[in-house]
Structure 1
Amino acid sequence: MANKRKVIVTGFEPFGEHKVNSSWAAVQELERLGLGDHIELVVCEVPVEYQAVQTLLPALWEEHQPQLVVHVGVSGLAKAVTLEQCGHNKGYRRLDNCFFSPESECCIEDGPECISSVLDMGSVCSRLRKEGVCSKVTVSKDAGRYLCDYTYYTSLFVGNGRAAFVHVPPLGKPFSSEELGRALQAVVTEMLLQLEGGATEALCNHRGRH
């Protein structure tokens, strides 16, 4: 186990109209599929609560010291598997599952407005399409200013950019949980290949930029 690289993948609990959260269903399917013999996969269901995220995310990074953390969330607007390039610090007004929102409306006091992942999501997307493994995949730079964006920014901040966020559509619109699980497997595998290839160094200076 000591020689295995560790990857954390998280999904969210139900909220609002999402009585079954497709993100957690997809992550559970990924857990069943695995990421190969050389990767230790750790999965976690994240509460849709700002204060819980503030506590949980740093603890996950500290305990596991992962090579990469990939967060998965549901978007009712998504028609494809959507790779988010960056997280945003401000604009969090929408109430969470505990009817709470941060008084400051931000993730990290005095943190940069935007933090970009060290991963080049455009490149990940292009390779997945080229290989035909996951054809319905796209890239976004706006994760929505709710718990998805809040979680992503927090993880990028704590993990020095070694995090990713993937938005998935609700179940059956059009993907099943099995299809989403296989798509996640392909996405995370491609992200790990990019990290190992050293293609991320040029993006490190993007921290704090819009």
Structure 2
Amino acid sequence: MKWDLVKMAKKNYHLVPSSSLEAISQTNCSFWNVFKGFGPFRQHLVNSSWEAAKELARIGLGSDVDLHIMELPVAYKKAREIVCQAWATLQPQVMIHIGLVSTSKAIIILEQCGKNKGYKEKDACGFCPEKGCCVLEGPERIDSTINLKCVWKNVQVEGMDVIFSRDAGRYVCDYIYYTSLYYGNGRAAFIHVPPLSQWVTAELLGRALQTVILEILKQCKQGIM
């Protein structure tokens, strides 16, 4: 069984602009597993989540995995459109989102669930969702079918701590995670990474993501989801 995700520089790596989703869906890949990082926002002109996704694409996840990465804007409406389109056209086995958490600590946070309500903070475009809600009449919370607590217990990341969480922050990250869980029937995960610094480099984050995601894919291949 070959797993197709999205990569970016090697033989198996593809950077996917949202305009290309329909064409990609016509290929003969067995599985499309999509990774999404976010673009600049607030004081973070370089978003570590996108840099980490590109580094992951560079180093890959093994010969049996083709990974596909996409950059999302820090904007509720546009990011939601891209995520919904990706689920509808690519029909991936799993979609893993990577976001930036503003902390000075070198930590990776594994988010188990997305929340439907409470989105009161404006995005990079000055927009807030209607009624602060992601999906009207949707469940209050959706948990990933991936057991991220199990992932947390099983992984060790060089130079970084790994934390398990049930609160993704009620901003665009949480909003998009809930959207992905809703339209992907729980087949999504969210990983928060710290900002880039002298000690936290894109290379370090890429290796950390590689370790965590390989553990996630182990669950998928074993049919635990």
Counterpart-to-counterpart distance in 2, 1:4 and 1:25: 27
Is 1:108 the counterpart of 2:131? The answer is no
- Give the TM-score of the pair, scaled to structure 1: 0.89
- Give the equivalent residue in structure 2 for 1:82: 109
Hey, which bits of structure 1, 4+ residues long, moved more than 6 A?
none
1:143 equivalenced with 2:161 (yes/no): no
How far, CA to CA, are the matches of 2:199 and 2:109 in structure 1? 14
Q: Which runs of 5+ in 1 are unaligned?
A: 201-210
Q: Tell whether the 8 Å contact from 1:128 to 1:134 is kept in structure 2 after alignment.
A: no
In 2 relative to 1, CA 42–97 (structure 1 residues): closer, same or farther, beyond 3 Å? same
2:147 to 106, 111, 120: 120
Give the whole-Å Cα distance in 2 for the aligned partners of 1:199 and 1:60. Answer: 23
Residue equivalent to 2:124: 97
The aligned counterpart of 1:67 is: 93
TM-score by length of 2: 0.83
Tell me: CA distance 1:96–1:173, structure 2 relative to 1, closer, same or farther (3 Å): farther
- Distance in 2, matches of 1:198 and 1:176, equals 33
1:53 CA displacement: 2.0
Alignment of structure 1 residues 1-210 onto 2, 5 Å: 2=28, 4-77=30-103, 79=105, 80-129=107-156, 136-172=161-197, 174-200=199-225
Higher mean C-alpha displacement, 1-10 vs 184-193: 1-10
Equivalent residue pairs, number: 198
Shift of 1:185: 1.1
CA distance in 2, matches of 1:199, 1:134: 29
Identity %: 45
Bigger RCO of structures 1 and 2 (CA < 8 A, at least 6 apart): 1
CA contact 1:91–1:106 (8 Å) conserved in 2: yes
Confirm or deny: 8 A CA contact 2:108 2:160 kept in the other structure: no
Residues 4, 39 of structure 1: 8 Å contact kept:
no
Gaps of 5+ in 2: 5-27
